[in-house]
Amino acid sequence: GFQDVPSNAYYADAVSWALEENITNGTTATTFSPDDTVTREEAVTFLWRAMGEPAAAENPFSNVSDSEYYAGAASWAHEKGLVSGTTFDAGAPCTRSMVAEYLWKLEGSPATGGNPFTDVAADASYAQAVAWAAEQGITGGTTPTTFSPASTCTRGQIVTILFRALAE
């Protein structure tokens, strides 16, 4: 019962699932903050928790201390090929295309049909991921013809996407 999660909100069931599965908590005891922007550190942490908090190899990031709450998640995401490099931009906003790409890569980067969105270039690094997520019903567009790949993902959106992709 969060004050800011109406029972008829599109994300209400997803919030309940995320809490039950220990993927995330509220931002306070009475609020979930569904419209707050998700950062990259939060996104990989939510996904890592949803996958059971698997152990990862050594921390590959020069700018992530092992004491950071997201260190294990970021290392795991790197090991799985979801993120790359030797630095992790933890506080940067997570975009809609990033979430689709993380999930698509976890599924083994399956081939997909055509991309239905006019704002996703065929040669974009995330084009196949977005097409896959739409085909799977994990997420749709922001309109029937646009995906808004660079738009930031909110807490309500990300738990809904994870719920659709991972809840059994």
The pLDDT tens digits for 95-154 are: 999 999 999 999 999 999 888 899 999 999 999 999 999 999 999 899 999 999 999 999
| Per-residue pLDDT, 115 | 86
What's the pTM value of the predicted model, to 2 decimals? 0.93
**Can you read off the two tokens belonging to residue 135?**
């085909």
| Per-residue pLDDT, 57 | 80
Contacts of 168 (CB under 8 A, 6+ apart): none
| Per-residue pLDDT, 103 | 96
- Can you tell me whether residue 93 is helix, strand or coil? strand
* pLDDT at residue 168 tops 70: no
| Per-residue pLDDT, 56 | 86
